[in-house]
A and B are shown apart, each in its own frame.
Chain A
């Protein structure tokens, strides 16, 4: 075994040689998985300590903190070194993902330190997403536990190719080989069952320092690599990715003047040379690479992991979000996928709702269907699911509003991994891993019709539109909508009124009042309204439509300017006082669930086209006001 750390004497003697070797280090990112009791923080603390990433003043603080907390008696508590934020230091648990750094003579390491409890699945997924390797910690006294299976499953799901089974606290089981062998056998059976191809088991002790940097004298029976030796040798993803076909998502178009047009991005796989043929997706256009531009001189060749600027020989269209690929092996393009979804937000997934989906450099609008199943991360069982809660993992169909170039996640983390962003809060609410496309773009054709929507509208001599009335139950939507339609009819306008209650007796009679059903209700009504608008009609709708995102979804379905949002603004107290259908009384009595305004929220429009304050004007006046705004 080579030298893991240089001594101070060598650094002092020949700094130039030291710098030269440091300059040629590679970088490995890994994640440590385990719970508080597995000694994870202690292990990381030791790695930092041994590689001299702790300075004297930090050590002084650490010693003082160790004494104050008293967890390890008078000895240093390495865990205190890695537990960062004040709140969690007091609770004694690691809540978030923390990144630590240390280096040996051969490699620099970035460690993602994440908590192990099930309620922190999202944190572990985050840490695993960038890791080449996972260290799965096991307490030798406890063996393979539920959490071991969960951690291994998540690491495997996120595409980590190298797993280390670190059987920790060997000092507490008398360094007994039989204990170690038993754990490895049990783990192997589990690993095989979920498709983990291989793993490296290492018996060690973080506290005592066995088999971490140097071979343990207490375990002469172990002849495999010690932990750091293995971490220094394992093949990097960056190296493996170079063997795959060339792909680069375009991040930014560099156009400082009319003479230069470069496409900037990070190469996700393969390599590229000047003169090679490339293809831009989704357009499919091809050209050759003219230059690989860099400050300090052009490059001849660039490889996976490098951030570069490419120039083409021909002026073909290419913009942010598109993907440059090897001409002969392009990626697929599709707008519907099956994917694993990891939910990361307190607000549960709403199937059918539009979220932003960001994959590579492209951001598109996407909906997630009701999950096919949810996975119990402890037993790997498939469970039926209508939605996904925080930390839940499921498999579902994703539909995007346009074609996107992609690759299955198992081929490419960069082109197969995406995040979902809530359109209202802008929070990152989920992560997804594409399995495969369900509908390839080249198979979809819109049936072209000879009588266009403009023709339909022209025959009716009107501008089609959708008047979308939204407001609480009992606000007066249906009454006002009915009056508006009567007025328009008198003006010889061709109209149709879609009313919430009526639609629920037919088209939507299979839907209830959960958030997910409400979304689907509005989606269907939106699609129907769109068809009617295409037919040239003025559509009036009267639906509570409590969520901003669904009203936004309908707006996006229609032609620009066609969607007219009318807010029938009646305060809750007023609507409840009227209670025409007696529904509020039932809801208050607990006989009606998910009733808007009572136990389900109403998100008022922020900037409606028309706002009707029913406490100030009558239904007749409201109808007149709406019509006069539409047809001046």
Chain B
């Protein structure tokens, strides 16, 4: 019989599917965190493959901040429907009440909507395992993150007290109240993600492709004016051909000027560019090792 050599993408795909099946077999109530971005799109696609012909046996959870791009909200509903999965949306009621927004509240915005919002949603539904799309190549502290990452009942991550992970054997046992975050695409790089989207023809939010969009410069980031909550202070948005390398809250997500309107063009730009992915997000800039701190506090 001839040897079939699996490509790196086939092996990464198999690894992710293996991890997802392991969680479904061992966790009591798993959920997939869904942020509508390209990594989430890949995760959702992998989940469909892992459990086909059954629909993925867990719901999707979007921890919403009310400040995402409008195009992301459209995509969210459609993606869940196509996968035959239940979509849960959580918005931190305290953040709603206090009107927390990225323009006035700085890092409190991320803390309340995302970090606190995520903890609330997991506690509210009693989820004991949450799939996330984090990758080890994104940031230094993530290089050491386990695939199965344990969190205490108060959702804290202790980098000194992680379980060794050998072979393909994952220890998913935990005490009631503890939970785990599971990262099936830990070993993927940004290029792998794009390549896979291209190969598998996965639908992504149109914001990843370049188009003429109304933009302004704000604290050094090129931002898109996605709705009328943007405080322009008399400034007039300029139409520019831009696209986004990552998607989050529109007032925090920097656009790049680009003419790339197809996936190969996006990949081409990515390969030729020399600015790493998280650069477009305002969150990491404050200090080195800031992500590690955020993680210890329970940020994904």
Enumerate chain A interface residues (CB-CB to B < 8 A). 8, 11-12, 15-16, 18-19, 22-27, 53, 55-59, 61, 65, 82, 84-87, 89, 96-101, 103, 107-108, 110, 113, 122-123, 125-126, 129-130, 236, 238-239, 242-243, 251-252, 254-256, 260, 262, 264-266, 271, 293-295, 301, 303, 305-307, 309, 320, 344, 356, 358-361, 413-414, 417-419, 421, 426-428, 431
Q: Is the CB of B166 within 8 A of A23?
A: no
B152-198 with Cβ < 8 A to chain A: 159-160, 162-169, 171, 173-175, 186-187, 189, 191-192, 195, 198
Q: Is the CB of A19 within 8 A of B169?
A: no
Binary interface encoding of chain B residues 1-23 relative to chain A, with 1 for a CB under 8 A from any of its CBs, else 0: 10111111111111101100110
Q: How far is the CA of A428 from the CA of B53 in the complex (A)?
A: 34
Q: Which residues of chain B are within 8 angstroms of A295 by Cβ–Cβ distance?
A: 48-49, 52
Q: Is the CB of B144 within 8 A of A84?
A: yes
A15's partner among B141, B144, B267 (CB-CB below 8 A) is: B267
Q: How far is the CA of A57 from the CA of B140 in the complex (A)?
A: 13
Pick 18 A–B contacts, CB within 8 A, sort by A. A11-B272, A26-B6, A27-B7, A53-B137, A56-B275, A59-B274, A85-B292, A86-B289, A97-B164, A101-B189, A113-B143, A125-B166, A129-B166, A130-B166, A271-B1, A307-B14, A307-B21, A428-B165
Give the Cβ gap from A81 to chain B, nearest Cβ, in Å: 8
12 other contacts beyond A27-B8, A242-B4, with CB at 8 A cut-off? A8-B271, A15-B268, A22-B195, A53-B137, A84-B144, A86-B289, A99-B187, A238-B5, A254-B51, A417-B169, A421-B173, A431-B164
Q: Which residues of chain B are within 8 angstroms of A18 by Cβ–Cβ distance?
A: 268, 271
Q: Is the CB of B171 within 8 A of A100?
A: no
Q: Which residues of chain B are within 8 angstroms of A413 by Cβ–Cβ distance?
A: 167
A419's partner among B166, B271, B272 (CB-CB below 8 A) is: B166
Q: Is the CB of A57 within 8 A of B7?
A: no
Q: Which residues of chain A are within 8 angstroms of B9 by Cβ–Cβ distance?
A: 23
Q: Which residues of chain B are within 8 angstroms of A344 by Cβ–Cβ distance?
A: 164
A27's partner among B12, B163, B275 (CB-CB below 8 A) is: B12
Q: Which residues of chain A are within 8 angstroms of B219 by Cβ–Cβ distance?
A: none
Q: Is the CB of A11 within 8 A of B268?
A: yes
Q: Is the CB of B292 within 8 A of A86?
A: yes
Tell me, yes or no, whether B124 is within 8 Å of chain A by CB: no
Q: Is the CB of A361 within 8 A of B25?
A: yes
Give the Cβ gap from B297 to chain A, nearest Cβ, in Å: 14
Given known A26-B7, A251-B25, A254-B54, contact A294–B49 (CB-CB < 8 A): yes
Give the Cβ gap from B268 to chain A, nearest Cβ, in Å: 4
* Chain A residue at minimal CB-CB distance from B137: A101
Q: Which residues of chain A are within 8 angstroms of B272 by Cβ–Cβ distance?
A: 8, 11-12
Given known A19-B264, A266-B168, contact A303–B144 (CB-CB < 8 A): no
* Chain A residue at minimal CB-CB distance from B178: A426
Q: Which residues of chain B are within 8 angstroms of A96 by Cβ–Cβ distance?
A: 144, 159, 162
Q: How far is the CA of A16 from the CA of B268 in the complex (A)?
A: 9
Q: Is the CB of B21 within 8 A of A252?
A: yes
Give the Cβ gap from A422 to chain B, nearest Cβ, in Å: 9
Q: Which 8 A-B pairs have the closest CB atoms?
A: A55-B276, A256-B54, A27-B8, A56-B274, A307-B17, A129-B166, A108-B8, A86-B289
Q: How far is the CA of A175 from the CA of B220 in the complex (A)?
A: 49
Q: How far is the CA of A61 from the CA of B52 in the complex (A)?
A: 44
Q: Is the CB of B21 within 8 A of A251?
A: yes
* Chain A residue at minimal CB-CB distance from B164: A126
A129's partner among B167, B171, B199 (CB-CB below 8 A) is: B167
Q: Which residues of chain A are within 8 angstroms of B175 by Cβ–Cβ distance?
A: 426
Q: How far is the CA of A123 from the CA of B162 in the complex (A)?
A: 11
Give the Cβ gap from B39 to chain A, nearest Cβ, in Å: 15
* Chain A residue at minimal CB-CB distance from B189: A101
* Chain A residue at minimal CB-CB distance from B22: A251
* Chain A residue at minimal CB-CB distance from B277: A55
Q: Is the CB of A57 within 8 A of B275?
A: yes
Q: Is the CB of B264 within 8 A of A26?
A: no
Q: How far is the CA of A390 from the CA of B193 in the complex (A)?
A: 39
Give the Cβ gap from A109 to chain B, nearest Cβ, in Å: 9
Q: How far is the CA of A303 from the CA of B275 in the complex (A)?
A: 38
Q: How far is the CA of A211 from the CA of B139 in the complex (A)?
A: 29
Q: Which residues of chain B are within 8 angstroms of A361 by Cβ–Cβ distance?
A: 22, 25
Given known A55-B276, A56-B274, A242-B3, contact A266–B18 (CB-CB < 8 A): yes
B288's partner among A53, A61, A125, A320 (CB-CB below 8 A) is: A61
Q: Which residues of chain B are within 8 angstroms of A65 by Cβ–Cβ distance?
A: 288
Q: Which residues of chain B are within 8 angstroms of A27 by Cβ–Cβ distance?
A: 6-8, 11-12
Q: How far is the CA of A69 from the CA of B279 in the complex (A)?
A: 23
Given known A23-B195, A251-B18, A361-B25, contact A84–B140 (CB-CB < 8 A): yes
* Chain B residue at minimal CB-CB distance from A243: B3
Tell me, yes or no, whether B136 is within 8 Å of chain A by CB: yes
Given known A15-B265, A23-B199, A101-B189, contact A264–B279 (CB-CB < 8 A): no
Tell me, yes or no, whether B88 is within 8 Å of chain A by CB: no
Q: Which residues of chain A are within 8 angstroms of B11 by Cβ–Cβ distance?
A: 27, 238, 305
Q: Which residues of chain A are within 8 angstroms of B140 by Cβ–Cβ distance?
A: 84-85
Q: Is the CB of A264 within 8 A of B50?
A: yes
Give the Cβ gap from B182 to chain A, nearest Cβ, in Å: 14
Give the Cβ gap from B271 to chain A, nearest Cβ, in Å: 5
Q: Which residues of chain B are within 8 angstroms of A305 by Cβ–Cβ distance?
A: 6, 10-11, 14
Which residue among B144, B273, B292 has the maximum number of chain A CB atoms within 10 Å of its CB? B144
Q: Is the CB of A306 within 8 A of B10?
A: yes
Tell me, yes or no, whether B121 is within 8 Å of chain A by CB: no
Give the Cβ gap from A466 to chain B, nearest Cβ, in Å: 27
Q: How far is the CA of A84 from the CA of B51 in the complex (A)?
A: 35
Binary interface encoding of chain B residues 205-243 relative to chain A, with 1 for a CB under 8 A from any of its CBs, else 0: 000000000000000000000000000000000000000
Give the Cβ gap from B168 to chain A, nearest Cβ, in Å: 6
Q: Is the CB of A426 within 8 A of B144?
A: no
Q: Is the CB of A239 within 8 A of B5?
A: yes
Q: Which residues of chain B are within 8 angstroms of A262 by Cβ–Cβ distance?
A: 53
Q: Is the CB of B144 within 8 A of A428?
A: no
B21's partner among A53, A103, A264 (CB-CB below 8 A) is: A264
Given known A11-B272, A15-B264, A26-B5, contact A84–B141 (CB-CB < 8 A): yes
Which residue among A8, A107, A307 has the maximum number of chain B CB atoms within 10 Å of its CB? A307
Binary interface encoding of chain B residues 40-70 relative to chain A, with 1 for a CB under 8 A from any of its CBs, else 0: 0000000011111111000000000000000
Q: How far is the CA of A256 from the CA of B50 in the complex (A)?
A: 13
* Chain A residue at minimal CB-CB distance from B55: A256
Q: Which residues of chain B are within 8 angstroms of A57 by Cβ–Cβ distance?
A: 275-276, 279
Q: How far is the CA of A103 from the CA of B271 in the complex (A)?
A: 12
Q: Which residues of chain B are within 8 angstroms of A417 by Cβ–Cβ distance?
A: 166-167, 169
Tell me, yes or no, whether B24 is within 8 Å of chain A by CB: yes
Q: Which residues of chain B are within 8 angstroms of A22 by Cβ–Cβ distance?
A: 191, 195
Give the Cβ gap from A190 to chain B, nearest Cβ, in Å: 26
* Chain A residue at minimal CB-CB distance from B19: A307
Q: Which residues of chain A are within 8 angstroms of B12 by Cβ–Cβ distance?
A: 27
Q: How far is the CA of A96 from the CA of B9 in the complex (A)?
A: 26
Q: Which residues of chain A are within 8 angstroms of B165 by Cβ–Cβ distance?
A: 126, 428
Q: How far is the CA of A361 from the CA of B137 in the complex (A)?
A: 28
B25-47 with Cβ < 8 A to chain A: 25
A421's partner among B3, B136, B171 (CB-CB below 8 A) is: B171
Give the Cβ gap from A365 to chain B, nearest Cβ, in Å: 13
Q: Is the CB of B171 within 8 A of A426?
A: yes
A266's partner among B14, B166, B191 (CB-CB below 8 A) is: B14
Given known A22-B191, A84-B141, contact A58–B198 (CB-CB < 8 A): no
Q: How far is the CA of A56 from the CA of B272 in the complex (A)?
A: 11
Q: Which residues of chain A are within 8 angstroms of B264 by Cβ–Cβ distance?
A: 15-16, 19
Q: How far is the CA of A191 from the CA of B21 in the complex (A)?
A: 40
B250-291 with Cβ < 8 A to chain A: 264-265, 267-268, 271-276, 279, 288-289
Give the Cβ gap from A417 to chain B, nearest Cβ, in Å: 5
Q: Is the CB of A99 within 8 A of B143?
A: yes
Q: Which residues of chain A are within 8 angstroms of B265 by Cβ–Cβ distance?
A: 15
B143's partner among A84, A264, A306, A418 (CB-CB below 8 A) is: A84
